[in-house]
Structure 1
Amino acid sequence: MTTTGVRLGDLVADLTGTDDGRPPVVLLHGLTFDRAMWAPVVEALGGRRAVAVDLPGHGDSPPRASYAPAEVADVLHEAVTAAGLKAPVLVGHSIGAVLATAYAARHPARAVLNIDQPLLAGPFADLLRSVEPVLRGPGYLSVWTTLSDGMGTEELSPSQRALLRSTPRQDLLLGYWKEVLETSPEELRRQRTDELTTLREQGTGYHHVSRAPLPPAYVRWLRSLLPSAGTTVLPGSGHFPQLARPASLVEILSGWG
């Protein structure tokens, strides 16, 4: 079954597959993109129940006054509930992985698959703060261009790149990056630590996929909080393994039912 462009609460999504006893999958794209990027994963899921959501302010979903992760997580939960899903696996790409982690710390979830998104902002936060005046001005697109140039889209085929529909509006960049721009690194670390601690206490699965090996210090931090967390490196796919290596992601998902 495939139903496209369904309104679920405040969000718009595509519903695919059927209930087959396995936990349903909720697919969350990255900043400025939309649900179209999940087509290869949906195909690789082979009929497993899945919902690909347009995040607030993206695609066909309306904007919000606030894009704080906890608030967006609650909006996502309303959509998940409207779709009739219980305790899904959250698959989040880039900032979608931050939202997936926040969701799982606040609402029932079987597991989180994090696609290429370190939970500690680190150097990225330093970079954003250094260019904040530009980001808030008329030349804000130069910041996005610099970042997107490093996403490795040249490693994708033309048909794969065609699924990357990006709309880098200033309100989205400032809204979704507000947490990083205005919260101290220490507080951000505490927030992510609290979320992962909650996941451990709940027995929620976690797996981090990256395009290159994660820094050892980051892996130590992650596993100090979630000893069972898995990590997988998928080279040759840039920032978008869901496009270049969908079968590898689905194989990871199979470990959660």
Structure 2
Amino acid sequence: MNGTQHTTLAGLAVDIHGTSDARRPIVLLHGLSYDRRQWGPLLDELDAVDPGRLVLAVDLPGHGGSARRPTYHLDEVAGQVHEAATEAGFDTPVVVGHSLGGALATVYAAAHPAVAVVNIDQPLLVGPFRDVLLQAEPVLRSPAFGEVWDMMLQGMRTDLLPPAARELASTATTPRQDLLLGYWDEVLTTPADVLAEERTRDMGAIRDRGIAYHHVSGEELPAAYRTWLETVQPDATVTVIPGSGHFPHLARPREVAKILAAY
């Protein structure tokens, strides 16, 4: 996108793209260990299908050019992102998040003004993922913590990405131990049923405020999870982009850009 402004808002390094007009602005939240560079292919496609759309791409706390925080609980991080969006003059944005950013976008919209949430491949119920983390916790807290991230990365199917996107997924990332432990702290220390209750309340707040919810994934949602999603958010839209693994916005950025352009 042309005319990109690089700045710092609410202690977060951000890029502001596009110009203010009647269209709702978009806030982009990347996944754990990544940074705002990951949105490059999507921004290029968005500029083609929705030229000049106002977009705020954020480096989450502790990522990229943004300072670290003592803790990284989702509600705290969502509050800081909201401060940055407010400083940018973003009123009632479309909040888009990939992976951890999808959970963060959900928490953001439950507590702050938003017109829509686009969650890119992030289940909100931690269930089996928490079990895997708990089993791996001793290694995660050791000097060999990188082995846990490598295991996670193997399941993300970066092999399905085009070469340039695969390179971006492998380089626009810094999986530091403090980030993994910090952002996963709630999952490690809070029972799964308690976390499920929190996400159910978040989705209820989003539903009751008439905020659209769109889940984008690389494969069909598990039946139990889809049932939960349709129960807590009956009007939710689910889009499956086959063959894109955990990175639909990198594998098929034009398709994801068209989804964003519709809001």
**TM value normalised by structure 2:** 0.95
Matched, 1:206 2:207: no
Which residue number in structure 2 is paired with residue 36 of structure 1? 37
Distance 1:254 1:51 in 2: 15
Paired AA for residue 124 in structure 1: F
Give me the whole-angstrom Cα distance separating, in 1, the residues matched to 2:164 and 2:260. 24
**Counterpart in the other structure of 2:162:** 157
**Superposed counterparts of 1:209-220, under 5 Å:** 209-220=216-227
- Superposed, 1:10-29 pairs within 5 Å as 10-29=11-30
Displacement after TM superposition at 1:143 (Å): 0.4
Distance 2:77 2:84 in 1: 11
Structure 2 contact 20–54 (Cα < 8 Å) conserved: yes
Give the secondary structure class of the aligned counterpart of 1:2.
coil
Amino acid in structure 2 at the alignment position of 1:202: R
Distance (whole Å) between structure 2 residues aligned to residue 21 and residue 44 of structure 1:
20
Instruction: Name the stretch that deviates more: 194-203 or 213-222.
Output: 213-222
Query: Which one-letter code corresponds to 2:64 in the other structure?
Result: G
CA contact (8 A) 1:32 1:169 kept: yes
Give the gaps of 5 or more residues in structure 2. Answer: none
CA distance in 2, matches of 1:24, 1:45: 12
Q: By how many angstroms is 1:200 displaced? A: 0.6
Question: What does 1:184-203 correspond to in 2, within 5 Å?
Answer: 184-203=191-210
Give % identity: 53
Q: C-alpha offsets along residues 144-184 of structure 1, whole Å, 9 cap, x if unaligned?
A: 01111111111112211232311010000000001110010
SS of the equivalent of 2:21 reads: coil
1:221 matched to 2:222: no
**1:131 correspondence with 2:136:** yes
Offset of residue 43 of structure 1: 1.4
Aligned to 2:254, the other structure's residue is in SS state helix
Number of the residue aligned with 1:104: 109
Matches within 5 A, 1:56-205: 56-164=61-169, 165-205=172-212
User: Structure 1 CA distance, aligned partners of 2:259 and 2:164?
Assistant: 24
**Structure 2 residue identity aligned to 1:181:** L
* Alignment partner, residue 8 of structure 2: 7
Give 4+ residue runs of structure 1 displaced > 4 Å after superposition.
none
- 1:101-143 deviation digits (Å, cap 9, x = unpaired): 0000110001100001000011111000011111111111100
Cα distance in 2 for partners of 1:174, 1:84 equals 32
Distance 1:189 1:230, change over 3 A: same
Q: State the alpha-carbon separation in 2 of the partners of residues 234 and 142 from structure 1.
A: 29
Alpha-carbon distance between aligned partners in 1 of 2:13 and 2:122, rounded to the nearest angstrom: 24
Q: 1:206, 1:70 → 2: CA distance?
A: 19
SS at match of 2:4: strand
Contact 2:219–2:243 (CA under 8 A) maintained in structure 1: no
- Deviation track 1:177-223 (CA, whole Å, cap 9, x = no partner) reads 01110010110000000000000110000011111100111111111
1:70-115 CA deviation, whole Å, 9 max, x = no partner? Answer: 0000000010011111000011000001110000011000110000
Aligned partners of 1:214, 1:22: CA distance in 2, in Å? 31
| Secondary structure, counterpart of 2:129 in structure 1 | helix
Distance in 2 between residues matched to 1:143 and 1:122, nearest whole Å:
18
Between the aligned partners of 1:243 and 1:237, the Cα distance in structure 2 is: 8
More displaced 10-residue stretch of structure 1: 84-93 or 244-253 = 244-253
Query: Matches of 1:169 and 1:218 in 2, distance apart?
Result: 30
Residue 251 of structure 2 is aligned to residue 255 of structure 1: no
Q: 8 Å contact 1:2–1:14 — kept in the other structure?
A: no
Gaps of 5+ in 1: none
